[in-house]
């Protein structure tokens, strides 16, 4: 059976506990990633072997000491119906929205959390500007 995880980055303790309780009902494990691991590839954080080393990319900022200004979550190993169940039940549990979300893919599993955060922030800001 494939593991189902959600990686949480810079999420407040109270919100993390609500997410953890909700995910327990769905059979999903929560992994809270400490700031010190923000420069490791996502796949390595999950214990996956990386076929090739990721490119060395210097992040726009280093978040290793203070964490990210905005919380981020990464869905790992969830099927589409499980992701749909998560998204539809999330608000019903009274859990505060996290805007920066991604699904772990073959394209991004060698990225570091810092790289993914910078990419998601760019997309989030472009989307917000387009709505105005």
Q: What is the pLDDT of residues 11-43, one digit of tens each?
A: 999 999 999 999 999 999 999 999 889 989 999
- What's the CA gap between 23 and 17, in Å, rounded? 10
C-alpha torsion angle, residues 26, 28, 29, 35 (rounded to 10):
-110
Instruction: Return mean pLDDT, the chain.
Output: 86
Interior angle at CA 63, CA 94 and CA 76, nearest 5: 50
What is the reported pLDDT for 82?
A: 92
pLDDT (mean) for 41-62: 65
The owner of tokens 């400490």 is 34
Over residues 82-113, the pLDDT tens digits come to 999 998 898 889 899 999 999 999 889 999 99
Between these two residues, 6 and 50, which has the higher pLDDT value?
6
């Amino acid at each position: 059976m494939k593991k189902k995880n959600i990686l949480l980055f810079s999420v407040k303790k109270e919100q993390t506990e609500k997410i953890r309780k909700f995910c327990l009902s769905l059979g999903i494990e929560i992994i809270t990633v400490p700031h010190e691991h923000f420069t490791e590839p996502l796949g390595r954080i999950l214990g996956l072997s990386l076929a090739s080393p990721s490119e060395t990319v210097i992040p726009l900022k280093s978040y290793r000491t203070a964490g990210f200004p905005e919380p981020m979550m990464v869905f790992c190993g969830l099927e589409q119906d499980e992701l749909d169940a998560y998204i539809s039940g999330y608000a019903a549990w009274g859990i505060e929205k996290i805007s920066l979300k991604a699904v772990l893919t073959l394209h991004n599993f060698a990225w570091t959390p810092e790289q993914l955060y910078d990419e998601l922030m760019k997309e989030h800001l472009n989307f917000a500007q387009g709505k105005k």
